Chain A
Amino acid sequence: MSSTATTRPNGLALFILPSALLFALFFFLPIGLMALMSVLTGNPVVMPKVAFTTRHYARMIGDPYYLEVIWTTIRIGLVTTLVALLIGYPLAHWMARIKSRTGHALLLMAVLAPMLTGIVVRTFAWMTLLSDKGVINETLLAFGLISQPLKLMYSETGIVVGLVHIYVPFMVLTLTGVIGRIDERLEQAAENLGASPLRAFIEVTLPLSLPGILAGSLLVFALAISAYVTPILLGGFQIMTLPILIYQQISANFNVGFAAALGIVLLMISLLLVVAYNRALGLVSGQRELQ
């Protein structure tokens, strides 16, 4: 079929239409409407007179509180990404290099198991671990290592721990693929030339896995800044991030316009990340992926 090398779409191209329709109606239209709502004074369906306004964006820029929320979101995202990379890399390296098939299957299951456990469930697990009467505090108290419970929950640290746990599998799976594609003989050659395993890793494997590091980090960052459940529960409703603020604007204030404007800001950050992520993945796979 493809050997005839016709560049014109054939009959199979029509199979794209149902998905195209889904995306048009339930993705592009809603996001377009959200963008529209963010510059309108009100709901055009119920209000006869609506006008264009920039007040939602002006409010965001004019009030340091909202800038602080955006910065908190980005800060939590950055720390989560960094920790996920530090934790994810060794595991990904092990998975990529392990010889035994069973070993690989077991590691894969260990990484996938948390992914199969929903976000709410895992956040609950961290609440039982980190709360004042939680596993960690009770254990430390029992051993007399601390005299009063550490404040592990209701803090950014707690949020980061929970988020790292949730998103580290994404980092591991992205990195494993990239590290697995690096020819092991390159490391062996470096070691034969007298480099220690660590030096061979730092000078050969690490630079070659940079595109994977970039792709994994962008993915985790994008996921972390859009998290809702973990920041709200582990932050105990006290730490405000962009997704929490967006939901609050809808549920408590029913300020659809302002929520839409906040959504557009989050969307813009994410779009930038998506473009960067695709670039990074392009570096990994070259032109191999498609045609």
Chain B
Amino acid sequence: MQTTASHSPSLAASRPAAPARTAGSVRRSGRTLYLAINIAILAFLLAPIAIVVVFALNPTPFIQFPPVGVSLRWFEKFFASRDFMHALGFSLEVAVLTTVSATILGASAALALARGNLPGTRLIVATMLSPLMLPAILTGLALFQTYVLLDVGRPTWGLVAGHTLVTLPYVVRTTLAVLHNFDTRLEEAARNLGASPLRTFFEVTLPLIKPGVLAGAIFAFIVSFDQFPVSLFLVSPGNETLPVTLFNYLKFDLDGTIGAASVVSIVLAFVVVIGLDRTVGLRSYVKL
């Protein structure tokens, strides 16, 4: 395509009538190709999610394509299963506890980093964001070994601590982004008008960083709810999170129950995101 395009000037020299149309059509077909490629990529991204829904509704007890009908039997089986329901409840419990602790710790840390005049801020931020890139399975393994060595068993707080560690970076990042974007003169103005540092914090700083903190909290919830590698090592048999239960089920069965469970967890994630978007508006904060 590049050669065609770069040759068009010489074509233009030999055939005076053609140039505008040639360049124009090359440009247009380039544009069409660009859109076609992108739409194919979008299809690749979204098709698997659509497929999950199809299999959740398909009544046959094995993978079958094309689907033979529509039934809710897998949803019934999922909601009637004690294992899945227990896992769902446990996952929600862990995700809520994780969100609360990650939000409080992460927002405080971001505040200290942005306003506390700490030395070595760069290094601290890099360290706090590192659980994002370090293999979560190692976080799980290292915590597992520690709990074994300390002989504490596999308590829920141990799992929540692991989840907090891997979700904290999201809160730190979104909160820091807001803290760096807002005008510090607002705080100075409040101080100049006689507000105490504490009052300035509660009446100026906190309301301003709220959207960033909440965006971080949403990420924390979703990441914790879907978290697998940390949980893999830290859950105890009979007390597993939903992703671990799904994984164990998938190892042996490939029926529509997994599809139904998947749809439920997708819907749940979307409800959380859309609900919070409605209440706080997070669109402008979803930036990496």
Q: Indicate if the CB atoms of B270 and A273 lie closer than 8 Å.
A: no
Question: Is A121's beta carbon under 8 Å from chain B?
Answer: yes
Q: Would you list which residues of chain B between 28 and 66 have a CB under 8 Å from chain A?
A: 30, 34, 37-38, 41-42, 44-49, 51-52, 55, 62-66
Q: Indicate if the CB atoms of A250 and B141 lie closer than 8 Å.
A: yes
Q: Indicate if the CB atoms of A125 and B48 lie closer than 8 Å.
A: yes
Question: Is A45's beta carbon under 8 Å from chain B?
Answer: yes
**Chain A: which residue is nearest B158 at the CB level?**
A26
Q: Is the interface of A mostly helix, strand, loop or mixed?
A: helix
Indicate with 1 or 0, residue by residue over A36-69, a CB within 8 angstroms of chain B CB atoms.
0100000111000000000000000000000000
Question: Is A119's beta carbon under 8 Å from chain B?
Answer: yes
Q: Would you list which residues of chain A between 143 and 165 have a CB under 8 Å from chain B?
A: 165
Question: Is A118's beta carbon under 8 Å from chain B?
Answer: yes
**Chain A: which residue is nearest B254 at the CB level?**
A127
B residues within 8 A CB of A105? 283
Interface size classification for chain A: 35 or more
Indicate with 1 or 0, residue by residue over A1-42, a CB within 8 angstroms of chain B CB atoms.
111001111111111101100110111011101100100000
Q: Indicate if the CB atoms of A277 and B133 lie closer than 8 Å.
A: yes
Identify which of A43, A125, A131 gathers the most chain B CB atoms within 10 Å of its CB. A125
Question: Is B70's beta carbon under 8 Å from chain A?
Answer: no
Name the contact of B286 in the complex, choosing from A7, A15, A112, A228 (C-beta under 8 A): A112
Chain A's nearest CB lies how many Å from the CB of B153?
Answer: 13
* Bound-state Cα–Cα, A3 to B184, Å: 9
**Chain B: which residue is nearest A254 at the CB level?**
B148
* Bound-state Cα–Cα, A277 to B134, Å: 12
Chain B's nearest CB lies how many Å from the CB of A105?
Answer: 7
B residues within 8 A CB of A238? none
Q: Indicate if the CB atoms of B265 and A8 lie closer than 8 Å.
A: no
Q: Would you list which residues of chain B between 112 and 155 have a CB under 8 Å from chain A?
A: 112-113, 115-119, 121-122, 124-128, 130-131, 133-139, 141-146, 148-149, 151
Question: Is A174's beta carbon under 8 Å from chain B?
Answer: yes
Q: Say yes or no: A228-B26 contact (C-beta < 8 A), given A110-B46, A122-B48.
A: no
Chain B's nearest CB lies how many Å from the CB of A266?
Answer: 6
Q: Indicate if the CB atoms of B149 and A45 lie closer than 8 Å.
A: yes
Q: Say yes or no: A124-B112 contact (C-beta < 8 A), given A226-B135, A256-B148.
A: no
Question: Is A222's beta carbon under 8 Å from chain B?
Answer: yes
Question: Is B14's beta carbon under 8 Å from chain A?
Answer: no
Question: Is A87's beta carbon under 8 Å from chain B?
Answer: yes
A residues within 8 A CB of B108? 15-16, 18-19
Q: Indicate if the CB atoms of A138 and B65 lie closer than 8 Å.
A: yes
**Chain A: which residue is nearest B31 at the CB level?**
A197
Q: Say yes or no: A22-B48 contact (C-beta < 8 A), given A246-B141, A271-B134.
A: no
Question: Is B262's beta carbon under 8 Å from chain A?
Answer: yes
Identify which of B64, B137, B142, B191 gathers the most chain A CB atoms within 10 Å of its CB. B142
Q: Say yes or no: A225-B135 contact (C-beta < 8 A), given A13-B117, A22-B164.
A: yes
A residues within 8 A CB of B161? 22, 25-26
Q: Indicate if the CB atoms of A125 and B49 lie closer than 8 Å.
A: yes
Name the contact of A121 in the complex, choosing from B187, B266, B273 (C-beta under 8 A): B266
Q: Indicate if the CB atoms of A118 and B265 lie closer than 8 Å.
A: yes
Q: Say yes or no: A229-B117 contact (C-beta < 8 A), given A23-B165, A256-B148, A274-B130.
A: no
Chain A's nearest CB lies how many Å from the CB of B178?
Answer: 14
Question: Is A70's beta carbon under 8 Å from chain B?
Answer: no
A residues within 8 A CB of B136? 226
B: residues with CB less than 8 A from A are 1-2, 5-6, 8-9, 26-27, 30, 34, 37-38, 41-42, 44-49, 51-52, 55, 62-66, 104-106, 108-109, 111-113, 115-119, 121-122, 124-128, 130-131, 133-139, 141-146, 148-149, 151, 161-162, 164-165, 168, 172, 180, 184, 187-188, 191, 197, 222, 225-226, 228-229, 232-233, 243, 246-247, 250-251, 254, 258-259, 261-262, 265-266, 269-270, 273, 283, 286-288
Further 20 A-B residue pairs, CB within 8 A, beyond A22-B164, A114-B49, A122-B48: A10-B116, A19-B128, A23-B128, A25-B161, A30-B142, A110-B45, A114-B48, A124-B250, A127-B63, A129-B51, A133-B62, A196-B26, A197-B5, A198-B5, A222-B135, A226-B138, A228-B232, A246-B141, A247-B232, A256-B145
